[in-house]
Chain A
Amino acid sequence: MPGADKETDLCERVELFLSELKRGGRGSGETARSTAALLRRITAQARWSSAGDLMEIIRKEGRRMTAAQPSETTVGNMVRRVLKIIREEYARSRGSSEEADQQESLHKLLTSGGSSEENFRQHFPPLKANVIEAINELLTELEGTTDNIAMQALEHIHSNEVIMTIGRSRTVEAFLKDAARKRKFHVICAECAPFCQGHEMATSLSKDGIETTVIPDAAIFAVMSRVNKVIIGTQTVLANGGLRAVNGTHTLALAAKHHSTPLIVCAPMFKLSPQFPNEEDTFHKFVSPQEVLPFTEGEILSKVNAHCPVFDYVPPELITLFISNIGGNAPSYIYRLMSELYHPEDHEL
C-alpha cells in the first residue's frame, strides 16, 4: 500500500538521522538544516488530521532525537521552532488576530490558564501546505545565517586591532575573513588543548592573509593585556544569556573581564536553547581521558583520575555582546528573543 511504504520510508530516514546524530562529527549548522529538512518530510509524509496530531508526532520524534545526542541542542531547538510554526499557522487559519497572541509575556503569565483551552483539534485543509511553506522559509533562514553574521563584521572590527579567539568556530572564521577583505588586523588564536582545533583555525585564517599567531592555552592571560577584542563562537546559548562553549572559554572570559576587554559572541539564532545551566548532570560532556593522560603513562594511569570535559559554562556577566543573524544584542535581552522563537509550553519537549 502506498501509505505503508511512505511510513516505512519515513521510519528509515528517521533511523538514519538518529544514527548520524549518535556518530557526531557534524557542525551545528549542518545538523540544524538536516533536522529542519527531516521535520518537513515528517509533516509531508506522516498521517495526521489536525494540528494537535502533528504536534504530538513531532514531539515524539523530537524526544527520540534529543535522547540520541543530548549535547547537540540544535536538534531540540529546531523541533521547538517547528512546533511554534505549527501553532502560528493554526492560529492564522483559525482567524484569531496575531496581535492577541503576541500579548506581552507578563500578561501571558497571568492568563496562562487560558491558552491550555486551545486543543488544536480543528481540521484545516491548507494547514499542511502552510506549515511546509513556513518550514521552507526557516530553511532559507538557516542557510543564510553565516553570511548574515559575517556581513556585520566591518561594524565591529577596525584596523590594526588585535583580536583573540579560541578553538575553531566556522561562524567566527567567516566573520574574520569578511572583515579581512577591507581591514588589516592581527588574530591571536588559543589552541584549545587537547583537541587543538585552534591550529586548524589558524592555518585557515593565515591562508587568507590574516596575520595569525597560535598560542598555547596557558598563555591566554599573559597576552591578554595587548588584545583589543575577544571574539568567540559557542556551542549553545543558554536561556539566561550564558554560554555553553568549548573548554577554556571561561578562563578566556575571566581574563577579558580583568583587562576590560569586550567579549563578543558570534552565534546564530538556532543555537539559542531554552535550557538553564543548573542541570548539573546534563550540562557537562566528557570524552576519553586518554586525550589528557595517554595510555603510554601506564604505570600511573590506574592510580590517577583524569578528566577531560568538553564544555565550559560562561556566565552572562562576562559577555559584552551577542552577534546573531538578526543583529547585535546584549545578553540581558536573550530571554526576550527566546519568547519570540519558542512557545513557553514547548520548553519541555
Chain B
Amino acid sequence: MADSERKEESKHSAEVNHAADGEGKCQDIARAKNEGRELTKEEKQRLRKEKKQQKKGKKDDKGPTQKVTEKEKAPSAASQTATQCPTQKAAPVSVSVPVAESTAPTDKQTKSKAELKAERRARQEAERASKQTKKEPGSQPTSSKSKAPPNELQPAVKRLPEHIQVDDPAMVRKLAKKLERQQIPLRSDYGYKVSLFSHLHQYSRKAPLTQQISIPATVIHPSIVRLGLQYSQGIVAGSNARSVALLHAFKQVIQDYSTPPNEELARDLVNKLKPYISFLNQCRPLSASMGNAIKYIKKEISNIPSQCKEEEAKKKLLSCIDNYVNEKLTLAAEAISKYAIDKIRDGDVILVYGCSSLVNHILCEAFEKQRKFRVIVVDSRPRLEGREALRRLVKRGIRCTYVLISAVSYILPEVSKVFLGAHALLANGYVMSRVGTSQIALVAKAYNVPVLVCCETYKFCERVQTDSFVSNELDDPDDLIVTRDGKTQLADWQSVKSLGLLNLVYDVTPPDFVDLVITELGMIPCTSVPVVLRVKNVDQ
C-alpha cells in the first residue's frame, strides 16, 4: 500500500511536468480529428493520457481511494490496445524501475522526454504487477498467450461481458467511449423492457445500425457492414450459418488488407479486427460459436512470425480459416451424422424443434441410407423457423407432421425419439439453445422419450449458467404482435404503461432432461462437457 502511494506521488509530479511538453501534441490530435481521418495508435494513446490528466486534475482533492480505483481502471483500459508495447519492453524496463524511483523526487526539471516515457511505462508495469499480486489475474483473451502455460486450476475471473450489464450506467458510458474511439455508432435500446431483463439490450429490427453510418464507410470494411446488416435483420440466422458467414467475411477482410509501413501484420491486423467485432456485436450480440471462431483467428494471426512476407502470411491465414471451417463444421457434421444414424431405427417417429442445420443434415443422411422413419416438426411463434426445416425435409421426400409447441403434449405419445440442436454447450452441462427447447425436453422426459442433443465441439463454451435470465438475448418485442380476424390486440402496447412484451431468443436446458449428446468426438453424456473442454485446451 505504501509502495503504491509513493508511486502515485511521483507519477502525479511527472504528469504535471509532462503537461508542458504535451501542448504541441494536443494540437496535432485536434487537427487530425477535424480532418476526420483515422487516428494513429500514438495519437490515440496521447488522447487517452490527456483525458486521464484532466480527470486527475479534477479529482485532486478527493480521497486516495478514488485515485487508486481510477488508476486501476486506467491501466486496464489502456492495456487493451497497448498490451503489445509493455509486454515487449517489459524486460529492459524492469531493470530501470529502481533507478527511476530514486531519481523521481530529486531532479524533476532536467528529465528528457524519453526518460519520462520510460519512467511512466515502468510505473505502469509495476502497478500491473502489484495489481496481479493483490487480486487474481484478470485474464484477457489476447494477453493470455504471454502468461505461463495454463494449468487447470488457474482462477479465471474474467471481465464481465458488456452485453449483460446494461443496467449499470458506468458500463454503458464505458461502452459508448470505446465505440467512439473505434468510430462505430452506438445502437440505442427500444421499447419498454421487462424489469427482470433490464440488464440486457433490446433492439428494434426497424432501426438497423447501418442507418447511422455515413457512406462511404472508411473505418469498417464493406463486407462486414453487409454481414452486420444480415445479422440484425435475421437474414443469416442459426449459429453454424453465422459462424461461416463471419469467417468468410474475415477472409475478405484479410485479402483486402495491406500492412501499413512500420507496422507488423500480426499486431496490426488484430487491432484492425477489433472495431469490426464491436460493430458486429452492436448489430447482434455474438454467439458462442462466433466467439470461439474469433478467438481462433486472433490466435492464428498473432502466431504469424514477423519475418513472414505479407503475401505468404495472408495465404497462410486464408488456408487456416478454410481448414477451420472444413474441420470443425463440415467434417464434424459428417462424423455426427454417422453416430446419429446408428441411433435411428426403422419405424421411428422422430421429433425435431425449429430449424437446426445439423439435425436436418442428419435426417437427410439417414433418409439417403434408406432408414424408414417419419418426422414431427415442432414450431413456435414468433420466429416460426420450423417451417424452413419442414420445407427442406419435405423436399427430400421425408414424411412430416407439423404442430405448434403448445400441442406437444398431444403429439408426444406417438414419438419414439427427440433430436435437438444446440447453440452452445455450457461447462456445467446445461444446453443453451433456441427458446422452447427446454420445454420440449421437459415434456419428453415426462413421457419417457429419449432426448438426444447434437452439437459440434466448437460450440462448447467455458461459461456456466443455470437459468435463462442472467445472459440471454432480447429480440424485437414487436414480433409478438399478430392480427387475427382483423383485430390486432397489441397494436399500441407502447402506450399502455403496464404492458410489456417479452421475446426471448435462448433458454438453457438442465442436463437431467438430456439423455445423450452426440459430438464428433463420440456420444457423451451432458456432464462430460468440461472434460472435452479440458482436452481441447491441452491440445492447443
Which of A203, A218, A284, A292 has most B Cβ within 10 Å? Answer: A218
**Residue A304 at the chain B interface, CB threshold 8 Å:** yes
Are A304's CB and B411's CB within 8 A? Answer: no
Q: Which of B122-167 contact A (CB under 8 A)?
A: none
Are A214's CB and B502's CB within 8 A? Answer: yes
How many Å lie between the Cα of A250 and that of B440 in the bound state? Answer: 12
Are A200's CB and B489's CB within 8 A? Answer: yes
User: Which chain B residues border A276 with CB–CB below 8 Å?
Assistant: none
CB distance from A203 to the nearest CB of B (A): 5
CB distance from A274 to the nearest CB of B (A): 24
Are A255's CB and B442's CB within 8 A? Answer: yes
A300: which of B380, B390, B410 is its contact (CB, 8 Å)? Answer: B390
Are A193's CB and B401's CB within 8 A? Answer: no
Are B498's CB and A193's CB within 8 A? Answer: no
Are A254's CB and B446's CB within 8 A? Answer: yes
| Chain A residues with a Cβ closer than 8 Å to the other chain, count | 51
Whether A214 touches B408, Cβ cut-off 8 Å, given contacts A219-B507, A255-B439, A307-B403, is no
CB distance from A215 to the nearest CB of B (A): 5
How many Å lie between the Cα of A223 and that of B501 in the bound state? Answer: 13
Are A196's CB and B489's CB within 8 A? Answer: yes
Whether A217 touches B489, Cβ cut-off 8 Å, given contacts A193-B381, A203-B496, A307-B410, is no
| Chain B residues with a Cβ closer than 8 Å to the other chain, count | 49
A222: which of B438, B489, B493, B501 is its contact (CB, 8 Å)? Answer: B438
Are A219's CB and B435's CB within 8 A? Answer: yes
How many Å lie between the Cα of A215 and that of B387 in the bound state? Answer: 21
How many Å lie between the Cα of A255 and that of B513 in the bound state? Answer: 12
User: Which chain B residues border A215 with CB–CB below 8 Å?
Assistant: 502, 504
Are A216's CB and B442's CB within 8 A? Answer: no
User: Which chain A residues border B502 with CB–CB below 8 Å?
Assistant: 213-215, 219, 223
CB distance from B118 to the nearest CB of A (A): 55
Give A245-272 as 1s and 0s: 1 = Cβ < 8 Å from B's Cβ atoms.
Answer: 0011011001100100000000000000
User: Which chain B residues border A27 with CB–CB below 8 Å?
Assistant: none
Closest to B194 in A: A213
Whether A300 touches B507, Cβ cut-off 8 Å, given contacts A218-B436, A225-B467, is no
Are A219's CB and B504's CB within 8 A? Answer: yes
Are A292's CB and B409's CB within 8 A? Answer: no
**Residue B480 at the chain A interface, CB threshold 8 Å:** yes
Are A221's CB and B438's CB within 8 A? Answer: yes
Are A192's CB and B446's CB within 8 A? Answer: no
User: Which chain B residues border A194 with CB–CB below 8 Å?
Assistant: 381, 404
**Residue A295 at the chain B interface, CB threshold 8 Å:** no
Give B191-206 as 1s and 0s: 1 = Cβ < 8 Å from A's Cβ atoms.
Answer: 0001010000000000
CB distance from B420 to the nearest CB of A (A): 13
User: Which chain A residues border B400 with CB–CB below 8 Å?
Assistant: 303-305
**Residue A94 at the chain B interface, CB threshold 8 Å:** no
Are B404's CB and A196's CB within 8 A? Answer: no
CB distance from A167 to the nearest CB of B (A): 9
Are B480's CB and A214's CB within 8 A? Answer: yes
Q: Which of B419-455 contact A (CB under 8 A)?
A: 434-436, 438-439, 442-443, 446
CB distance from B40 to the nearest CB of A (A): 47
How many Å lie between the Cα of A195 and that of B482 in the bound state? Answer: 10
B394: which of A203, A300, A307 is its contact (CB, 8 Å)? Answer: A300
CB distance from B373 to the nearest CB of A (A): 15
Are B467's CB and A309's CB within 8 A? Answer: no
How many Å lie between the Cα of A192 and that of B482 in the bound state? Answer: 12
Closest to B481 in A: A199
Q: Which of A67-75, A204-212, A331-339 is the interface stretch? A: A204-212
Whether A220 touches B439, Cβ cut-off 8 Å, given contacts A304-B401, A307-B403, is yes
How many Å lie between the Cα of A194 and that of B381 in the bound state? Answer: 9
How many Å lie between the Cα of A226 and that of B466 in the bound state? Answer: 13
**Residue B303 at the chain A interface, CB threshold 8 Å:** no
User: Which chain B residues border A309 with CB–CB below 8 Å?
Assistant: 407, 410
Are A212's CB and B498's CB within 8 A? Answer: yes
Whether A221 touches B439, Cβ cut-off 8 Å, given contacts A214-B480, A247-B410, A312-B409, is yes
**Residue B391 at the chain A interface, CB threshold 8 Å:** yes
CB distance from A164 to the nearest CB of B (A): 12
Are A219's CB and B409's CB within 8 A? Answer: no
Are B498's CB and A304's CB within 8 A? Answer: no
Give B381-409 as 1s and 0s: 1 = Cβ < 8 Å from A's Cβ atoms.
Answer: 11000010011001000001111111111
Are A217's CB and B442's CB within 8 A? Answer: no
**Residue B57 at the chain A interface, CB threshold 8 Å:** no
Closest to A258 in B: B442
How many Å lie between the Cα of A284 and that of B406 in the bound state? Answer: 14
How many Å lie between the Cα of A306 and that of B387 in the bound state? Answer: 12
Whether A306 touches B490, Cβ cut-off 8 Å, given contacts A193-B380, A215-B502, is no
**Residue B484 at the chain A interface, CB threshold 8 Å:** yes
**Residue A39 at the chain B interface, CB threshold 8 Å:** no
User: Which chain A residues border B469 with CB–CB below 8 Å?
Assistant: 225-226
B410: which of A222, A223, A284 is its contact (CB, 8 Å)? Answer: A284
A193: which of B406, B489, B500, B507 is its contact (CB, 8 Å)? Answer: B406
A-B contact pairs, 26 of them (CB 8 A): A193-B406, A202-B489, A206-B496, A206-B498, A213-B194, A213-B499, A213-B500, A216-B381, A217-B436, A218-B381, A219-B435, A221-B439, A221-B442, A222-B438, A222-B439, A222-B468, A247-B406, A248-B406, A254-B443, A292-B402, A293-B387, A299-B391, A300-B391, A304-B402, A305-B400, A306-B403
Other than the known A199-B482, A213-B194, A223-B468, what 17 A-B pairs have Cβ atoms closer than 8 Å? A191-B480, A193-B380, A193-B381, A193-B406, A203-B489, A203-B496, A214-B490, A216-B503, A217-B380, A217-B436, A218-B381, A220-B439, A222-B439, A254-B446, A255-B442, A300-B394, A308-B404
Across the A-B interface, the 9 shortest Cβ-Cβ residue pairs? A218-B436, A248-B406, A199-B489, A218-B380, A250-B409, A222-B507, A206-B499, A222-B468, A221-B439
